[in-house]
Structure 1
């Protein structure tokens, strides 16, 4: 699976975890050089979400990547994984 924004592969992995219709990629597959800081935080049944923004070829997509640094028991499968907003294309 690949996560693509603006024609650039953001993450690439043969295995993802699918929950609630979202593909969660292993965090190690995320190209960190394409991310930048975000202050955004939110919370749900899986734990506190922390967010990153994408910065690709001079274009910024705020709050585009989320992850759970300390997921709840319900979200345990999402530990060390990242997911993307709908503007990021997921393809196989």
Structure 2
């Protein structure tokens, strides 16, 4: 089962991830919300749309913008709506 881990803590875990461009997108309910905080940072992908970012916070340490999701993706990426992907040192193990 894929797990997103940072600082020794499981941030998300699910058998139902969607892999897009080598990134596991975790369903919203699989993300442990006590370890993520909203960030004002956004980027735009030409085919997916606008990505919103989350900071990952574990044991008082913050990994800024280490997770992202598409709240209103373009049609081509509708299967990852609100799913969360990770980077910046967050390890996804299968």
Which residue number in structure 2 is paired with residue 54 of structure 1? 56
Which residue number in structure 1 is paired with residue 75 of structure 2? 73
Q: Is the 8 A contact 2:4 2:92 kept in 1?
A: yes
Scaled by the length of structure 2, what TM-score is found?
Answer: 0.93
Q: CA RMSD in A?
A: 0.9
d(CA) in 2 for partners of 1:86 and 1:75? 22
Q: Does 1:13 align with 2:10?
A: no
Scaled by the length of structure 1, what TM-score is found?
Answer: 0.95
Structure with greater strand percent: 1
Query: 5+ unaligned residues in a row in structure 1: which ranges?
Result: none
SS in structure 2 at match of 1:15: coil
Query: 5+ unaligned residues in a row in structure 2: which ranges?
Result: none
How far off its partner does 1:14 sit?
Answer: 1.0
Which residue number in structure 2 is paired with residue 4 of structure 1? 5
User: How many residues end up aligned between the 2 structures?
Assistant: 92
**Runs of 4+, deviation exceeding 3 Å:** none
